[in-house]
Structure 1
Amino acid sequence: MALLAVAVGGAIGSVLRYLLGLLANQPGWPWGTWLANVSGSFLIGLLYVWGREKGWLSPEQYLLLTTGVMGGFTTFSTFTLESVSYFSQGMFVRGGLYVLSSVGGGLAAACCGWWLARQFT
């Protein structure tokens, strides 16, 4: 059952990520990837508290939503490739800003999700 939950969630997350990329990516800045990583970080912060700390999600629901949906939705491998691409083109400021804003934004979003989830207890 756990494998099925991860597989279904991964399919959902991947499709959502693809659609977000179609809607948000712009020349000069990969907004779709950035939005997926930051919003996914926020959501996984919520899900961790609700699923692990509060026990509001079954183990299968937790796997479906975190490992599955969030795993398919967030795009760390795409993020790293885009970062390397900036650096290899000599776009060091743009690459550095992208890395710092993605990692910093993701960390801040996860903390906000974690905090927000704790307020609804």
Structure 2
Amino acid sequence: MVIDEGTKEIPWLLKTPPLSSDYTMHRDVKDGKEVLVCTVGKTVLLYDYQCLTDLHAMLKEHGDWMELGSADEQKPAKEGTVEAWGRSGRNPVGGWYGLKKGLRGRFGMYVPPLMEKLGLAELTHDAKGNKMRAI
């Protein structure tokens, strides 16, 4: 990992869990809050930076593989998945880690590969039904 990686100038270069699409993420501050800026083509999504620590802690407690279950904001998330946890009122922020109304979903698609790159988790890389667990 490059030391300055994760900045706007040198974003993390990532692939979706099935390794089918490229995207970037970087740290930034928006409205006084640390955020992850996820750029997929021309679409920009924002996630609360705290999600990395919180998701890692939840996965450690879970102790096993957990299905990612990625879904758009407008679609329901499958129970028991990383996506469902990322929008649950029972997570540490009490709701969505996605911060951009209309584009708050896909938490289970875009955050796990960053956690893998940072050495916090391992992922499966199948065509569908990918899972992750904490390292």
Structure showing the higher strand proportion among its residues? 2
TM-score, normalised to structure 2, is: 0.27
Larger % of helix: which? 1
- Alignment TM-score, normalising by the size of structure 1: 0.29
- Larger gyration radius, structure 1 or structure 2: 1
